[in-house]
Amino acid sequence: LKPTLESTAEDFTSLMATNLESAYHISQLAHPLLKASGYGSIVFISSVSGIVSGTASIYGATKGAMNQLARNLACEWASDGIR
């Protein structure tokens, strides 16, 4: 993981795709199956970097965004029995 001033736009895009976009899209794909079953849980594997500030700003930002995505999906999909 690179410091901010050494990171490129490609580094940013790659980490966002790997750590956030993949979680978002797999959740979208899982929703109909979980809803049809009447209940379910979506579990993301994040990092302490998403909670505690450190030196890997892009990585930490993607993990923080993943944590917030999990919270928002839990609220949005609660009526479908998905947490």
**Catalytically active residues, by annotation:** 59
Q: Report the alpha-carbon distance of residue 59 to residue 50 in Å, rounded.
A: 8
Q: Residue 77: CB partners within 8 Å, gap ≥ 6?
A: 31, 34, 35, 83
